[in-house]
Amino acid sequence: MILEHLPGNAYLIDVRTPEEYQDGHVSGAQNIPLDETEEVILTAVPEKADVIIVYCR
């Protein structure tokens, strides 16, 4: 699986609604709904050099 090959500084962000996230999500993913992403991402991912992977449906 691709997650096994990600660097340690990678963040997996699920941008779906909290309800969709609860129905099922990739293990290790953080739920940050799309309409909150820009605001929250700055605190959720502290280092600009970190890898951010965003997914939805």
CATH of the domain at 9: 3.40.250.10
Domain that residue 19 falls in: 2-55
Asked if residue 1 has pLDDT above 70, the reply is no
Q: Which of 26, 42, 51, 56 is catalytic?
A: 56
Number of domains in the chain: 1
Banded pLDDT at 4 (limits 50, 70, 90):
confident
Q: What is the mean pLDDT of residues 37-53?
A: 79
Residues of the chain with pLDDT > 70, as a percent, come to 95
Annotation says 56 is catalytic: yes
DSSP states along 15-48: -S-HHHHHH---TT-EE--GGGHHHHHHHHS--T
11 φ, ψ to 5°? -120, 130
**Quick check: 21 pLDDT over 90?**
yes
Amino acid at 19: E
